[in-house]
A and B are shown apart, each in its own frame.
Chain A
Amino acid sequence: MASVELRNISKRYGAVEVIKNLDLTVDDGSFCALLGPSGCGKSTLLRMIAGLETITEGSAFIGGVDVTRLAPSQRRVAMVFQSYALYPHLTVRDNICFSLSLAGVSRDVQNAKAAEIAKMLQLEQLLDRRPAQLSGGQRQRVAIGRALVRAPEVFLFDEPLSNLDALLRVQMRLELAKLHQNLKTTMVYVTHDQVEAMTLADKIVVLDKGRISQAGAPLELYNSPANKFVASFIGSPAMNFIPGTVTSADGNSVTVEMQGGAQIPIRRRHPNSATPSSPLEVGIRPEHITILNTGDKAALTTGIVQIVEQLGNSTIAYVDTPIGQLVMEGDGGIAIAPNDTIGLSLDATRAHMFGTDGHVI
């Protein structure tokens, strides 16, 4: 096991800077997810840790050893690719043992290792098959087996579940979580799927245009996003953003008048960060909006339901209100229908404020 540390690293392709002066520490034995939209540099970052991309500036350390100029095979890492990259001409056994075979390990030892890993990943019956004869989930397990056989200090996963269907993805997610619990090896996991990141990782690093937008525990990012980008990227359905203006500020509390005239008191995260008349956006997650009767005094605003999505365990409604279109999420049993007029209240204690620069106030 080993920690991963990136110190002030940059990656440039000609004039294009993909990673910009990035510092990151992944603790020994932790599960770190690199999360971000396409093109944010998360896969490049992972490939730089693996040694598949050179580091233009800065240094990378694995287990305290400077690996910046080391070949990928010398970094004691193993990588699972999105495409699995299973060699089509080799059997499952030979795929798993490929690295051992390259290192000249005897056939007996290879077979013993393959049997041990096959047992761990429930691949015993498939050892003599070729990748083309396997299902997506089985291929994924073989790819993990091929990484496991090297007994790496760091596992690197590059969107390993992207090619699986929804059901299999949930199963494999569980298996990966179990694997991490059993091995307690450092894992760095690239994904654009926030659910994968939230469910698997101890630490999520949200990347935006080659920079770390925020890094922290999953719930920390969910409950206290540092900026609008993180707030909008994490959570499904996404957070509502309502334009507003500060009307008064008193200690930690700020009163915001949202468009349409409704006012809401919100606790500011940084003292003196919101002054009267300053424009901002109020962020509120769909589950922090409650449906009330239109006549209810607690209702902040009223609205007309446009679309209702009944998911069984929850109900998502898109509501047109004077403060803008809001998405709200409630219990599965809520009885609302399109064109209903409803009252809405916002949980002010869970609301966030973002300045014009996108940073949380």
Chain B
Amino acid sequence: MTTIAANLNEPAGPNAARFNRIMMLDRAGLIITVVTFLGAILWAFPIYWTLVTTFKPEQDIVRPGVDFFPDRFTLEAYTHVLFNTKIGLWYVNSLVTSAMVTVLVIMMSAAAGYAISQLEFPGRKFLWWMILASFMVPIPALIVNHFVLMSQFKLINTWTGVVLPQLIAPVTVMIYKQFFDSVPKDFREAAIIDGATEFQLLFRLYLPMNWGITTALAIITFISAWNNFLWPFLVTTSEEMMNITVGITQVTDAFGVKYARDLASAILAALPVAIVYLIFQRRVTQAIMLTAGIKG
């Protein structure tokens, strides 16, 4: 009886090796799935905890014990942040400066990438090496110089002051150059015979042919500008000119440590980026992959 039962479960002969291999693969797959699942929980739990906390009254948050769900559900933290702080202004500041950074970085990088990739002019290689070299310098290392410059230009507490130092984007130039290099030469030559100027070549040929990369770079530039904290924190001292990332630190300062309000303001600050990410998920992933090879 035992022999018969064993034969039913495990095939004998040449199939046995294959069966064992599949079982091994299944086990490996199971382990990987479990580890991935645990990793996902580990990563997602703080977000969940933040979200749940914002719906709790402050007393419930500070009392001992762990509550995975709010005992008493309240929107007080959100109503407070929305109506008793300058979050509206901070949103506007973030939106305007991030949009300005995005538009300018994309336009300048595309133009610079095009010039380095397609035009012949004296000093082209030197310019390219300069851009590559600027990529080696970490931006925080320049932050004091930037501050002194902005201060001398009287641009502290202005949108321009927030935007200008964020326009240094060698990676975007490098990606554009790389993509423009890969456009077959025939397209350019056909358009030149058709009478296209360099501007027409860029705006009617090279950019539309690489529209996907422009969208991806624009999204990631916008997200980076929106999330940027250090520079906007240094360059704005007036509460009216702060970006959302800087503004939310004022919620803490004004009202002491109130976890629900702090976390609600953090949620509100991250919400637009999260929405942008959800809408353009594929493009963002593409951009991250593109920049990953260069940024390291």
Contacts and interface: CB of A to CB of B under 8 A. Distances in A.
Interface of A: 50-52, 71-73, 77-79, 81-83, 85, 87-89, 98-99, 102-103, 146, 150
B192 A52 contact: yes
B209 A79 contact: no
A264 to B, nearest CB: 50
Contacts of B211: 89
Contacts of B190: 79, 81, 85, 146
Given A88-B209, A89-B208, A89-B211, A103 B195 contact: yes
A71 B193 CA distance: 8
A67 to B, nearest CB: 13
Contact of A102 (B184, B189, B196, B208): B196
Nearest to A78: B193
A83 B205 CA distance: 16
B192 A73 contact: yes
B193 A79 contact: yes
Contact of A72 (B193, B200, B205, B208): B193
Main secondary structure of the interface of B (DSSP, over half): helix
Contacts of A99: 194-195
Contacts of B71: none
A102 B193 contact: no
A81 B208 contact: no
Interface residues of B, number: 17
Contacts, number: 53
30 contacts: A50-B193, A51-B193, A52-B192, A52-B193, A72-B192, A72-B193, A73-B195, A79-B190, A81-B189, A82-B186, A83-B184, A83-B186, A85-B186, A85-B187, A85-B189, A85-B190, A87-B209, A88-B209, A89-B208, A98-B191, A99-B194, A102-B191, A102-B194, A102-B195, A102-B196, A102-B200, A103-B195, A146-B190, A146-B194, A150-B194
Interface string B190-223: 1111111000100011001101000000000000
A293 to B, nearest CB: 57
A82 B211 CA distance: 25
A72 B189 CA distance: 9
B189 A89 contact: no
B202 to A, nearest CB: 13
Closest 5 CB pairs of A and B: A73-B195, A99-B194, A85-B186, A85-B190, A89-B208
Contacts of B208: 89
Contact of A77 (B184, B193, B196, B209): B193
Nearest to A89: B208
Given A73-B193, A87-B205, A88-B209, 14 more contacts: A52-B193, A71-B192, A72-B189, A73-B194, A78-B193, A81-B190, A85-B184, A85-B189, A85-B190, A89-B211, A98-B191, A99-B195, A102-B200, A103-B195
A213 to B, nearest CB: 27
A13 B114 CA distance: 25
A169 B176 CA distance: 38
Contacts of A83: 184, 186
A52 B194 contact: no
Interface string B134-158: 0000000000000000000000000
A73 B190 CA distance: 10
A251 to B, nearest CB: 55
Contacts of A71: 192
Contacts of B184: 83, 85
B201 to A, nearest CB: 10
A262 B86 CA distance: 107
A94 to B, nearest CB: 10
A62 to B, nearest CB: 13
* Residue of B186, B191, B194 contacting most chain A CB atoms (<10 Å): B194
B32 to A, nearest CB: 38
A179 B116 CA distance: 41
Nearest to A143: B190
Nearest to B187: A85
